[in-house]
C-alpha cells in the first residue's frame, strides 16, 4: 500500500497530516475507502466546531453501510472540504489527497505524534 | 460474521472458485458464499444500465412439477393463474400461507402441459418445498432440482447482442423471444433453458445451465463478453438495480406477515381462477376488509442515504418504516420502499428519520427507473 510521507494514522483508519502552518488535515486511508465501497454522501462538522479525540465527528454513507468518522485528535475545525458535498466519490478516487475532509487547529500536537506512522499502520492493516 | 458464530455451514455455488480467482469480494448470503462486488457496486450498476453485466445467481432454487395435473397442482399453490399459460410462458406469483401471508415470490414457467418449472428465492428454498409438498393437491410430483442447475443472468441493453454471439444457431429465436417467455437453446455449445427475464429492469436473459457445464458457459461468456465490455456483477449492484426498477426483495419488502395486496403484488392475485389456492379465502376477506397499510416508494429530497429500519414520519406522527433503501446510481438520489399507514399514502412528502435528523422524501407510486 502506497502511503505518502508525513501521514499518521488512527486505528479507525483515519489519517492526519501536519501542514506548514501547524494545522492538521484529516481524511480516511485508502484501506478504509476500499472497505467502504462507493461513498455517496459525507456528513462533516462545520467550521468553528470542536472535535474530540476518539469521538464521532461525522459520517460516511456508502452504498453498503454508514460509517462513523472518529476524530484522531482534538481541535477546532478551521476548514471543511466543500467539494465532497457534490463529489463524495473523491474520497474513493483520492483518499490521501483531494479526498481530505477537514483541517483543524490541534489542541495538543502530542495527540498527533501519538498516532501510528506509515509502517506501524501498514502492519496494523496486515494484522487484520 | 454471523454465520461463523452460528456455526452454520456456508455452501458453495458451482462457480465459487472462478469468482474468487477473478477477484470478487465474496459475502455469505442465504447460506451461500456469493460474489458481492467486483469492480464496485456503482460501476457494475452503471455498466448494466448502459452495456451488459453478468450475474451468477446459482444460489436460487429450482423446483419441477411433473405429471398430467402439474398445472392444477401449481395453480393450487400460487396466487396467479397458471391455467392461462402457454408452453414457454412464465408468470410472477406469490406463494401464500393460509392467512394470505407471502411465503415467497416465485417465477412459474409452463415448459409443457405436464411440466412446470419454478424459480424460488435461495433463502426460502427449504420453506417453499416443505410448504408446497404439504399443500399440493394432485398426483404430479414436486422435485427440488436446484442442485442440478447453475443460473447465470446476462442483463443490459447489449445482452441480446452478447447472447446471439454465444448462441449463433438460436440467435434469431432468442431475438424473437418475448419478455417472460422461455425456450431451450444451445448457448456456448450447451443445451439449456433460456428465459427472457431478470431482476434489473433491463433487457436480459437468465440461463438455467446443467451444473456440470457451468464453467464452460461462464468461461465462454467472459470471452465473448470482452467485445461488449461485459461487467462481472455481484449482489451489491443486483440490489441497487432491482430497487431502482422497484422490484420487491423477499425478506425485506415482504414476508409471511405481509399480504400481496399491501406489498404491491395485488396484480398477481387471481381470486376467481378455476383452481382454489392456499390463502385464497384469507385474501378474499382481506380484499373485502380493505388494507391498513401499503408499500410505498420514496425519493430523498436532500443529500443522504435511506436504509432499512429507518422510521417514517409525517409531522410528529410515526406513519411507517423503511423496508428497503439505497443509493440509486442511475438517478444519483437515495430511494427506498416502506410500509405506510393507508391514511397517509397520498401525502406528497414524508420525513425519514436518518440518525438524528428528519429528512424529507417525496412519495411515488411509480418505478424509480424505467428503461426506454
B303 shares contact with chain A (CB less than 8 Å):
yes
How many structural domains does chain A have?
1
**Closest C-alpha to B349, from B325, B315, B323, B372:** B315
Q: Does the structure show a pLDDT above 60 at B5?
A: no
Q: Which residues of chain B are within 8 Å of residue A37 when distances are taken between CB atoms?
A: 37, 40-41, 236
B240 shares contact with chain A (CB less than 8 Å):
yes
- Residue range B263-288: mean pLDDT, rounded: 97
Q: Does the structure show a pLDDT above 70 at A88?
A: yes
Instruction: Note the pLDDT of residue B2.
Output: 43
- The residue with cell 447465470 is B152
CATH of the domain at A105: 2.40.50.100
Could you tell me which residues of chain A have a Cβ less than 8 Å from any Cβ in chain B? Answer: 37-38, 40-41, 59, 61, 63-64, 66, 85, 89
pTM, rounded to two decimals = 0.91
Phi/psi for A97 (5° steps) reads -125, -90
Helices B41-50/B235-244 angle, 10° precision:
50
Within a domain: residue A120? yes
Nearest to B37 among A37, A61, A85 (CB): A37
Give the Cα separation of A61 and B357 in Å (integer).
15
**Closest C-alpha to A61, from B41, B315, B303, B203:** B303
Reported as a single tens digit per residue, the pLDDT across B322-334 is 999 999 999 999 9
Distance from CA of B235 to the nearest CA of A (A): 11
Q: Which residues of chain A are within 8 Å of residue B326 when distances are taken between CB atoms?
A: 63
- Residue range B284-303: mean pLDDT, rounded: 97
Distance from CA of B42 to the nearest CA of A (A): 7
CB atoms within 10 A of CB B175: 11
Residue A64 pLDDT class (50, 70, 90 cuts): confident
Q: What domains appear along chain B, each with residue ranges and CATH number?
A: 2-57+148-244 (3.30.1360.120), 292-372 (2.40.30.110)
Q: Does the structure show a pLDDT above 70 at B6?
A: no
Mean per-residue pLDDT of chain B: 96
Count CB pairs under 8 A between chains A and B: 36
Q: A100 is in which domain, residue-wise? A: 14-127
Q: Does the structure show a pLDDT above 70 at B252?
A: yes
B42 shares contact with chain A (CB less than 8 Å):
yes
Q: Does the structure show a pLDDT above 70 at B94?
A: yes
- Residue range B56-64: mean pLDDT, rounded: 98
Within a domain: residue A52? yes
Residue B7 pLDDT class (50, 70, 90 cuts): low
- Residue range B335-348: mean pLDDT, rounded: 95
What residues contact residue B28 under an 8 Å CB cut-off, 6+ apart? B1, B2, B3, B10, B34
B234 shares contact with chain A (CB less than 8 Å):
no
Residue A65 pLDDT class (50, 70, 90 cuts): confident
Give the Cα separation of A49 and A59 in Å (integer).
15
Residue A13, SS3 per DSSP: coil
Q: Which residues of chain A are within 8 Å of residue B37 when distances are taken between CB atoms?
A: 37
Closest residue, chain A, to B237 (C-alpha): A63
Contact assignment for A63 to B303 by CB distance below 8 Å = no
Within a domain: residue A4? no
Contact assignment for A41 to B304 by CB distance below 8 Å = yes
- Residue range B352-362: mean pLDDT, rounded: 95
The percent of residues above 70 in pLDDT, for chain B, comes to 98
| B149 beta partners | B210
Residue A128 pLDDT class (50, 70, 90 cuts): confident
- Residue range B330-344: mean pLDDT, rounded: 96
Q: Which three cell numbers stand for residue A57?
A: 465527528
- Residue range B166-193: mean pLDDT, rounded: 98
Mean per-residue pLDDT of chain A: 94
- Residue range A61-90: mean pLDDT, rounded: 93
Contact assignment for B41 to A85 by CB distance below 8 Å = no
Instruction: Note the pLDDT of residue B359.
Output: 97
Instruction: Note the pLDDT of residue B82.
Output: 98
Q: Does the structure show a pLDDT above 90 at B236?
A: yes
User: Is B227 within 8 Å of B166 (Cβ atoms)?
Assistant: no
Distance from CA of A61 to the nearest CA of B (A): 7
Distance from CA of B29 to the nearest CA of A (A): 14
Q: Does the structure show a pLDDT above 90 at B1?
A: no
Reported as a single tens digit per residue, the pLDDT across A4-48 is 888 999 999 999 999 999 999 999 999 999 999 899 999 999 999
Distance from CA of A4 to the nearest CA of B (A): 25
Ramachandran assignment for B188, one of left (phi > 0), alpha (psi -120 to 50 degrees), beta (any other): left
Amino acid at each position: 500500500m502506497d502511503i505518502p510521507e508525513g501521514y499518521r494514522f488512527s486505528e479507525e483508519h483515519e489519517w492526519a497530516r501536519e501542514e506548514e502552518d501547524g494545522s492538521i488535515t484529516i481524511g480516511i486511508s485508502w484501506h478504509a475507502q476500499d472497505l467502504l465501497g462507493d461513498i455517496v454522501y459525507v456528513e462533516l462538522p462545520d467550521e468553528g466546531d470542536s472535535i474530540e479525540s476518539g469521538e464521532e465527528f461525522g459520517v460516511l454513507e456508502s452504498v453498503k453501510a454508514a460509517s462513523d468518522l472518529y476524530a484522531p485528535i482534538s481541535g477546532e475545525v478551521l476548514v471543511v472540504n466543500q467539494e465532497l458535498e457534490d463529489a463524495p466519490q473523491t474520497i474513493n478516487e483520492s483518499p490521501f489527497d483531494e479526498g481530505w475532509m477537514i483541517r483543524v487547529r490541534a489542541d495538543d500536537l502530542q495527540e498527533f505524534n501519538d498516532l501510528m506512522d506509515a509502517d506501524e499502520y501498514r502492519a496494523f492493516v496486515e494484522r487484520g | 460474521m454471523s454465520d461463523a458464530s452460528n456455526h452454520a455451514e456456508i455452501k458453495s455455488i458451482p462457480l465459487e472458485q472462478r469468482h474468487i480467482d477473478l477477484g470478487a469480494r465474496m459475502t455469505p448470503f442465504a447460506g451461500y458464499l456469493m460474489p458481492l462486488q467486483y469492480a464496485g457496486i456503482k460501476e457494475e450498476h452503471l455498466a448494466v444500465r448502459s452495456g451488459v453485466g453478468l450475474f451468477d445467481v446459482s444460489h436460487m432454487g429450482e423446483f419441477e412439477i411433473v405429471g398430467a395435473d402439474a398445472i392444477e397442482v401449481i395453480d393450487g399453490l400460487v396466487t396467479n393463474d397458471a391455467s392461462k399459460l402457454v408452453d414457454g410462458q412464465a408468470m410472477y406469483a406469490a406463494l401464500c400461507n393460509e392467512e394470505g401471508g407471502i411465503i415467497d415470490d416465485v417465477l412459474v414457467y409452463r415448459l409443457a402441459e405436464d411440466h412446470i418449472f419454478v424459480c424460488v428465492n435461495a433463502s426460502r428454498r427449504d420453506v417453499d418445498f416443505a410448504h408446497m409438498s404439504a399443500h399440493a393437491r394432485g398426483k404430479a410430483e414436486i422435485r427440488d432440482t436446484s442442485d442440478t442447475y447453475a443460473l447465470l443472468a446476462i442483463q443490459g441493453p447489449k445482452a441480446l447482442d452478447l447472447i446471439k454471439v454465444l448462441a449463433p444457431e438460436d440467435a434469431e429465436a432468442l431475438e424473437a423471444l418475448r419478455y417472460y417467455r422461455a425456450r431451450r437453446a444451445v448457448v456456448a455449445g450447451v443445451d439449456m433453458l433460456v428465459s427472457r427475464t431478470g431482476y434489473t429492469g433491463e433487457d436480459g436473459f437468465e440461463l438455467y445451465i446443467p451444473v456440470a457445464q457451468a464453467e464452460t458457459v461462464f468461461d465462454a461468456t467472459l470471452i465473448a463478453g470482452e467485445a461488449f465490455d461485459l461487467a462481472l456483477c455481484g449482489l451489491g449492484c443486483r440490489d441497487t438495480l432491482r430497487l431502482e426498477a422497484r422490484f420487491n426483495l423477499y425478506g425485506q419488502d415482504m414476508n409471511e406477515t405481509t399480504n400481496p395486496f399491501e406489498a404491491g403484488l395485488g396484480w398477481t392475485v387471481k381470486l376467481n381462477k378455476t383452481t382454489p389456492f392456499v390463502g385464497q379465502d384469507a385474501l378474499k376477506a382481506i380484499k373485502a376488509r380493505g388494507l391498513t397499510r401499503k408499500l410505498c416508494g420514496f425519493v430523498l429530497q436532500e443529500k443522504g442515504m435511506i436504509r432499512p429500519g429507518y422510521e417514517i414520519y409525517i409531522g410528529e406522527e410515526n406513519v411507517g418504516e423503511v423496508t428497503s433503501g439505497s443509493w440509486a446510481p442511475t438517478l444519483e438520489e437515495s430511494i427506498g420502499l416502506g410500509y405506510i399507514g393507508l391514511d397517509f399514502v397520498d401525502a406528497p412528502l414524508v420525513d425519514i428519520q436518518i440518525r438524528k435528523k428528519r429528512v424529507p422524501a417525496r412519495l411515488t407510486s411509480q418505478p424509480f427507473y424505467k428503461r426506454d
